[in-house]
Structure 1
Amino acid sequence: MGAATTTKRRRPRAVPWVLLGIWVAVMALAGPFAGKLGDVQKDRAVDYLPASADSTQVAEVQEQLPGGETTELVLVYHRDGGLSAADRRTAADQVAAVARQVELVATPTGVASKDGTTLMYPVASTAPGTDEEKRDAFVNDVRDIAKESDSGGAGDGLSVKVGGSGALATDAGEVYQSLDGPLLYTTVAVVAILLILIYRSPFLWLVPLVVAGIADFLSMGVAYGLNQAFGTSVTGQSSGIMTILVFGAGTDYALLIVSRYREELRRVERPYDAMAVALRSCGPAVLASSGTVAAGLFCLLAADLNSSRGMGPLGAVGVLCALVAMLTLLPALLVLLGRRVFWPIVPAFGSEPKKRRSLFASMGSSAGRRPVVVLAIGAALLAVLSLGALNLPGNLKQEDSFTSKPDSIAAMETLAAAYPERGTQPISVIVPSGEADALLDRARSVAGVDSAERGRSSERWTELSVVAKAPPQTAAETATIEALRDALDDRGAYVGGPSAEQIDLKDTNARDRMVVVPIVLAAVLLVLVALLRSLVAPLLLLLAVVAVWGASLGIGGLVFGPLFGFEGTDPGLGLLSFVFLVALGVDYGIFLMHRMREECLEGADTGTAALTALRTTGGVIASAGLVLAATFAVLTNMPLVQLVELGFVIAVGVLLDTFLVRTYLVTSASLALGRKVWWPGPLSRAPRPPAAPEPREPELARLP
């Protein structure tokens, strides 16, 4: 009997070591795959598009034509005072050197600007094929040749730049490839600083940070496995967002677990037992919140855009890996380290926490005095902020997508200034070979077309190179591309190229918003109804996060152009920010409303339950919101406009949700609605008064 009792007592102590061993094995298995995620990452504009898009069809056919996909460049020679005869000879010699080094599609012909300051040579090659490394090597070789005469505006004044879609793709690829390191290091640094401030311990902050890093490593391995098994799209944007979610959401879960664990250590003697109680208490809320986020992200599978559809599974993988790590590895490490990990403020068994004035209790009281007034003012504020969305700049052009100015962008700006009256970027048109001549004539007759020439040809397809009269990615060029599609669509032709890709991105994003947004709302609503056993409370939370999304976009509209100087808005900003803010915002609503429901189940009225929930969870929610907002704010330091915009909108939305919506609006709405917030559940009905005891007849004294 004694031996059996000893075995039972020792068994719990072995559980953390077993979990630690399992994680060591998991990391060993995931290691070989995690390092390969960057190898399958694709960041061409056409890789973001659906297979049905015209631009995608053009890219696929180009790969089948002799030589493979075409890489198009433009060598731009410019001198402010006008090009000299020597400059023109230099340009011709350099273009000849390029032709000797790489097989070109056609002999380049120089086109001089009307003012004589600029000379451009369109250069197209099929030698690099579809291999991005070979494409980059070709672009860099051409740039090396161009640098021999480029004085950058100094010296003799001749400037030589390399632009075109190939150069833009190379520059964009270099930016995306460079994101992983800075994004990870900056995220880790931000989370570390916040955890040190929150925990005020020299050791405790390391534990959730290390666990989050391990979860991130695991998510990379799982993401690579999904790509290999199901062909899931992986882009620099989606992999970066996955890392942000692992550290942001994972740290949020850690804050909840550690906070409850610290509380239980004062009531329970053994750390193992204290952790078991903590996980039983906060585990359901953590599971529900992570499930809501994952469900919202999985709804992106309904998107037609490859990048959005791929971001759904990758984001969900990040959240779920963070969840598993925080529910298993984090508790195991904390139990093994014992109470001393909290030094210098060690929660001793039987001790009482220091009483402090609760900021959130004061905020709840202020909302409780006039809940309807507070609710009206907060709703009006969000509505006014939402109006700023009307000031969002138009669609982001390819050359405006960098926060800095790489060589390709400088070249395109020079072309736009020197050739305002004509296009400088060819439109690729793929037509059936049997009708190539007839469709070439039809293309030349389309309004807005400056010229059209035959390109490569195979037995089935022929490529036409069309130049519009209007500059690239202007309203006039867009009209020309749409006119080409209307004129050639009935003959099985496809119109693609960089400008057409941007049009397809815009159209696909518009379609995805109409499809994905209702699905996300429905999925999140179902999860909330199942968790809260109510219909009014879930609708209240959804309405709140939608209002936050609108206000966040409005703030973006007020700063993107006037403050940041951005020339456009990423077409995918609305959809992606909606999915993240709804899923993540509801996350905090679950923490608050779940605690409210617990208090109501224990007999508290709705008003008291709302104030108690805010007082007890407000600090943790505020800390979690700060961490999550800070991790997404890391994106604002990245060199791509679309990442800066997405990070800014989500960070602002999380802060609004944490300090305005959860603190004031949800609390005041709950106070104003009373028990109706739980309708139609049993908590919405007033409790019946206890039945009065039935009068009983007095018992007669028994006779002996």
Structure 2
Amino acid sequence: MAPRLRSSEAEQRRTSRGGRWVRILIPALIILAWLVGASLGGPLFGRVDEVSSNDQTAYLPENAEATEVRAVLGDFLGTDVIPAVVVFRAEGGIDDGQKTELSQRLRTAADAAGVTGDISPVLVSEDGLAAQAFVPIDVKLDLGDAVAELGKTLKASVPAGVDVFVTGPAGFTADLIAGFAGIDGLLLGVALLAVFVILIAVYRSLLLPIVVLSTSLFALCVALLTVWSLAKAGVLLLSGQTQGILFILVIGAATDYSLLMVSRYREELHSTRDRGVAVGNAIRGSAEPILASGGTVIAGLLCLLLSDLKSNSTLGPVAAIGIAFAMLSALTLLPALLFTFGRPVFWPRIPALDSAGVRHPHVSVGWRRLAAFVSRRPRVIWLVTTIVLAVAATGLLQLNAQGVPQSDLVLGQSQARDGQAVVGEHFPGGSGSPAYILVGKSSLTDAADAVLDLPGVSSVSVVSADSPSGSAPVTTAGIVALGPPGTPAPEPTVRDGRVLLQATLTDAADSTAAADTVVEMRERLRPMDALVGGVTATAVDTNQASIHDRNTIIPVILVVILLILMALLRSILAPILLILTTVLSFGAALGVSAVVFNGIFAFPGADPAVPLFSFVFLVALGIDYNIFLMTRVREESHRHGTREGVLRGLGITGGVITSAGLVLAATFAALSIIPILFLVQIAFIVSFGVLLDTFLVRTLLVPALSYDIGRAIWWPSRLSRESAPPIGPDEVRSEELA
């Protein structure tokens, strides 16, 4: 028998050694796989502009009028170009000699900037104080560099006393490109620094924040690798704003999920010496809320596929890819790193093993007191918080989300905005950004008459290859002959039986008045089957599509998230209440933001997509904290009954959810360093809304409401009919947690 025993012991030792090797090998392979993915995705941070576009027209629906017109502009204008308007201003006026000199300087500067196409003659304003010229820039060029070089060369060569501005569509697009310039390095650096400071304060450890941030950064690198590859292949459209939101979402979500995993891991370390067992239990305890919250966010984001705007519909899958990798890193890479470092990862606050036979989570005194406060006055608490949120939501009446002028998209100094102001003072406001009208040749005269009759139109011309300037003026009498008396009028360029008219608007192309003119123009030209495009028409179509998206997608997101919560919590009443509290919180966040935008920042308004994006992020992300809370409440309710489970769930998840809320608010706040109005507004709304969810809704409203309703909140599941089980000998009540 002795030899057999020794043989059995040896076999157990070999099995044990084999098990140890497996426990070491699997985490090592996981870390190696993520390291390879990050090494491939990391270098792409500086190359996103290779696969992205900030051209607003590119994101319109294919059936939009502006899109159809844009598709054929190259057939009439020769090349796919974007016009830059160069404006000269001189206080003493511009005489003929200066006009000739400016023309020469302009040609030289355009050559240096690599501009392609014919430059228009320099046109002096009627008051003689300003002049302008139209410079076509090939869209295949680096637009930001071309515009910057053009402006720099002109400012260095024009006569003294002459101011130079580069504006028009090319100028404003260059402003956007410059605004997004810091999105790769600055935005990411600020977001990571903010998260690192919060993690240091939460964990009071140096190594653990580095581990958590590494998890988030590796998730972002692999997500960027995937998105960049799909954009390179033409599967996805990528823009500056999509890129910025992807960065923030992945860093914020991955850190939130990591906080939940670390919290559960630390809880397990109090009851076991084996770090492998602790990691396994932490994964099992965290997987459901992480997958549920991540799945909810992904489902909400994918609802954006219903959008008519490609800028919205492409954000959905891009951001969903980021959330998927955030979940994956929190469930694979982080556990592997925690297993590798073991207990010392928490140094100097290493979790101690509890006394034998005692197993309960540790809750701070503050959260114990808050749980006790909720248990004493639940109805008063949820009624008061509801009233506060409802009052805050009345600020929605001040929200102006009907669109903003293109000149106001970039915050801070803008050469294009300054130049547009000069154009408005001395020329028709729409100079350089005409409305393009595609109409049948036989309807040319009727269309021109209808357009010229509009008070918002300054002049009309028709594209003509016979004209030296590329177009010929059109009046109510027809096409105007250019040259000496007796010269025949130029023939319009005809493509597929249609001609292209160019209407110069009296108001700035991005103004409300110009938009009204284009809407009226379309109404008048509809009987002629004419299509109207151009900068103003693109803005009109974009706003209309955004409003349609907002009204369509928001209800769909609510239904999708409601169904997910019902499946997760095995209840109907609880998910409905959670959705209502989240919507109320969103309304309060948007209402307060509207007051701040109007009264403090004096913003000119908001894009119609701002409420939609804010809703997607706040409802999808805000419901995360309710999922973290209520899944734990449900778990504790099975053991201790619903009311005791609410108090225990509030106390146990309080620290991790508050930390997660601070992290997410900080990462979204980092978006405000990008001087783009849309992103600054999203940053404020989401950051404020997350803090509202974290400190008011999840901390007071939901627990108080759940406690007041009691076990009926789980209706119609069996849990709604079960009585509270007795407290076991090794268990403690919520008020005794230490």
Q: CA deviation at 1:664?
A: 0.8
What per-residue deviation string (whole Å, max 9, x for no partner) do you get for residues 116-170 of structure 1?
54x2314042xx433142x44543443134213569xxxx543221111111112
The equivalent residue for 1:20 is: 31
Question: How many Å separate the matches in 1 of 2:139 and 2:430?
Answer: 29
Superposition pairs of residues 315-464 of structure 1, within 5 angstroms: 315-350=319-354, 357-393=364-400, 395-419=403-427, 425-433=433-441, 435-455=443-463, 457-460=493-496, 461-464=498-501
Question: How many Å separate the matches in 2 of 1:216 and 1:390?
Answer: 38
TM-score for both structures, normalised by structure 2 = 0.86
Q: CA deviation at 1:688?
A: 10
Question: How many Å separate the matches in 1 of 2:426 and 2:394?
Answer: 38
Label 1:571 to 1:528 Cα distance change in 2 as closer, same or farther (>3 A).
Answer: same
Question: How many Å separate the matches in 2 of 1:4 and 1:535?
Answer: 49
Question: How many Å separate the matches in 1 of 2:350 and 2:254?
Answer: 24
The equivalent residue for 1:637 is: 673
Question: How many Å separate the matches in 1 of 2:725 and 2:125?
Answer: 92
Does the 8 A contact of 2:362 with 2:652 survive in 1? no
Does the 8 A contact of 1:104 with 1:123 survive in 2? no
Does the 8 A contact of 1:368 with 1:671 survive in 2? yes
Question: How many Å separate the matches in 2 of 1:106 and 1:157?
Answer: 23
Question: How many Å separate the matches in 2 of 1:413 and 1:59?
Answer: 26
Aligned with 1:131 (options 123, 140, 147): 140
Does the 8 A contact of 1:433 with 1:459 survive in 2? no
The equivalent residue for 2:602 is: 565
Superposition pairs of residues 72-151 of structure 1, within 5 angstroms: 72-80=83-91, 88=99, 90-95=101-106, 97=108, 104=117, 107-112=120-125, 114=127, 116-117=128-129, 119-125=130-136, 128-133=137-142, 135-136=143-144, 138-148=146-156
Question: How many Å separate the matches in 2 of 1:497 and 1:333?
Answer: 54
Question: How many Å separate the matches in 2 of 1:411 and 1:304?
Answer: 33
The equivalent residue for 2:560 is: 523
Does the 8 A contact of 1:585 with 1:654 survive in 2? yes
What per-residue deviation string (whole Å, max 9, x for no partner) do you get for residues 523-569 of structure 1?
10111000001111111111111111111111211111332232221
Label 1:597 to 1:99 Cα distance change in 2 as closer, same or farther (>3 A).
Answer: closer
Amino acid paired to 1:501: T
Q: Secondary structure at the match of 2:604?
A: coil
Amino acid paired to 1:337: F
Aligned with 2:584 (options 541, 547, 552): 547
Question: How many Å separate the matches in 2 of 1:32 and 1:79?
Answer: 47
The equivalent residue for 1:180 is: 184
The equivalent residue for 2:650 is: 614
The equivalent residue for 2:689 is: 653
Amino acid paired to 2:451: A
Does the 8 A contact of 1:95 with 1:108 survive in 2? no
TM-score for both structures, normalised by structure 1 = 0.90
Q: CA deviation at 1:287?
A: 1.0
Q: Secondary structure at the match of 1:204?
A: helix
Aligned with 2:544 (options 484, 507, 510): 507
Count residues in correspondence. Answer: 680
The equivalent residue for 2:482 is: none
Q: Give yes or no for the alignment of 1:55 onto 2:63.
A: no
Amino acid paired to 1:108: P
What per-residue deviation string (whole Å, max 9, x for no partner) do you get for residues 376-429 of structure 1?
221121122112222234521110111112211111123334458876632222
Label 1:72 to 1:550 Cα distance change in 2 as closer, same or farther (>3 A).
Answer: same
Label 1:593 to 1:433 Cα distance change in 2 as closer, same or farther (>3 A).
Answer: same
Amino acid paired to 1:412: Q
Question: How many Å separate the matches in 1 of 2:591 and 2:24?
Answer: 53
Question: How many Å separate the matches in 1 of 2:272 and 2:361?
Answer: 18
Aligned with 2:639 (options 575, 579, 602): 602
Does the 8 A contact of 1:245 with 1:315 survive in 2? yes
Does the 8 A contact of 1:146 with 1:162 survive in 2? no
The equivalent residue for 1:678 is: 714
Question: How many Å separate the matches in 2 of 1:422 and 1:285?
Answer: 54
Question: How many Å separate the matches in 1 of 2:463 and 2:212?
Answer: 58
Question: How many Å separate the matches in 2 of 1:433 and 1:37?
Answer: 43
Q: CA deviation at 1:438?
A: 4.5
Q: CA deviation at 1:55?
A: 1.7
Aligned with 2:194 (options 181, 190, 193): 190
Question: How many Å separate the matches in 2 of 1:179 and 1:355?
Answer: 40
Q: Secondary structure at the match of 1:41?
A: coil
Label 1:476 to 1:202 Cα distance change in 2 as closer, same or farther (>3 A).
Answer: closer
The equivalent residue for 1:227 is: 231
Amino acid paired to 1:451: S
Q: Give yes or no for the alignment of 1:218 onto 2:222.
A: yes
Does the 8 A contact of 2:276 with 2:339 survive in 1? yes
What per-residue deviation string (whole Å, max 9, x for no partner) do you get for residues 439-465 of structure 1?
334433345322110125353253321
Alpha-carbon RMSD across the aligned residues, in angstroms, is: 2.7
Q: Note the residue ranges of structure 2 that are not aligned, 5 or more in a row.
A: 1-7, 465-492, 727-738
Amino acid paired to 1:373: V
Label 1:318 to 1:39 Cα distance change in 2 as closer, same or farther (>3 A).
Answer: same
Question: How many Å separate the matches in 2 of 1:358 and 1:396?
Answer: 49
Amino acid paired to 1:667: P
What per-residue deviation string (whole Å, max 9, x for no partner) do you get for residues 355-381 of structure 1?
774323322333332222222221121
Question: How many Å separate the matches in 1 of 2:178 and 2:122?
Answer: 29
Label 1:372 to 1:553 Cα distance change in 2 as closer, same or farther (>3 A).
Answer: same
The equivalent residue for 1:701 is: none
Q: CA deviation at 1:655?
A: 0.2
Does the 8 A contact of 1:296 with 1:520 survive in 2? yes
Q: Which moved more, 1:415-424 or 1:136-145?
A: 415-424
Q: Note the residue ranges of structure 1 that are not aligned, 5 or more in a row.
A: 691-704
What per-residue deviation string (whole Å, max 9, x for no partner) do you get for residues 185-235 of structure 1?
111111111111111112111011112111111001111233355622111
Amino acid paired to 1:583: A
